[in-house]
A and B are shown apart, each in its own frame.
Chain A
Amino acid sequence: MEQRHQLRTGSESTVEGESTQKASPSAAQRIETPEDLIRLDRDSVPVPSEVRTRLAAALQAEVAADTPRPWWRRWWDGTTEG
C-alpha cells in the first residue's frame, strides 16, 4: 500500500514525501507538522514483548532478594543469616 505523507510546517512551503509503509488508516490523513509524522512513526513501533518479560524477571529477582528468608528456611539451609 502506498502512502503519501505531506508535511507542512506553519507558513513553510509544503514538502511531500512518499512511503511504502503499511500504516494505520490515520496515516492517510494530512500530516501537518514533523511532530505528526513522528507520532505516526511512534505509533507503528511497538515495544517488543521480550522487554516486558526480561523486566518482570528482573523485578521478581529484586523482590526475592529483598524478602528475608523465613526462620525455617535458614534453619534448613544451616545458616542464620537473613
Chain B
Amino acid sequence: MATRPQDPIDAATASTDPSAQADLPADFAAIYAAHSQSVHYLALRLTRDPIQAQDVTHDVFLKAFRNFDGFRGNSALRTWLYRITLNHCSHLRQSWAARKIQTAEDDAIFDRVDAQAPNPLHVLETKELGERIQRTLDSLPGEYRLVLLLVADQELSYEQVAEVTEQSPDAVRGKLHRARKAFTRAFARTA
C-alpha cells in the first residue's frame, strides 16, 4: 500500500492514539491522528454544520493524501492543512450561495432550526458551551472569527496564522486584540 506522506509528525500523539492502526496507511494515520481534530473543529465552527464538517475533514485529508508530493515542507503541515480547509469551506459557501439566495428571513429560520434542532445530525451542537461559542463566533466579523479560531491552536505561531490568513503578523495581532474584545462582549450576551 502506498504511503506517500513522509513528513515529520507529532510522534507522541500518533503513538498514543489507539485508532492509528490498520485502516489508514501507517504514516498517514499518524498525520490524521495528529491533525484531524483541529481540522474538524475549524470546519465545524466555519460551516456551523456537523455533517458538512465531517465531509470537509474527509475531503481535506483526501486532498492532502493526493497532493502530498506538492507539499514542500516550507510551511508547517498544520498550516498547509488549514489552508486546504479554508479553501474548501470557502468553496462550500460559494456553491451554497450560488444555489440559494438567502433573505434575512431565511437566515432567521435557518438560525432557529440550527439552534433548536433535536435532530441527531446536529448532535455535536447540543452541548451548551459549543452552542454559545458558535453563536458568539457567528456574531463576529469573519476575519475576527478566523483569527480567534486559528490563534486558539497553540501549535500555530502568529507568523503561521498570518500565513494561513494571508496577512501580516502585525495585522493578526491587531485583529486578535479587537477580536478578543468583541468575543468577550458577544459571549456575555449568549448567557
Contacts and interface: CB of A to CB of B under 8 A. Distances in A.
Contacts of B180: 9-10, 12, 33-34
A52 B23 contact: yes
B112 interface: no
Contacts of B151: 35
Contacts of B132: 17, 19
B80 interface: no
B11 interface: no
B47 interface: no
Contacts of A66: 2
Contact of B2 (A15, A19, A63): A63
Contacts of B154: 39
Interface of A: 3, 5, 7-10, 12, 15-21, 23, 33-56, 58-60, 62-63, 66
Interface of B: 1-2, 19, 23-25, 28, 32, 36-38, 40-41, 44, 50, 54, 57-58, 61-62, 65-66, 124, 127-130, 132-133, 148-149, 151-152, 154, 179-181, 183-185, 187-188, 190-191
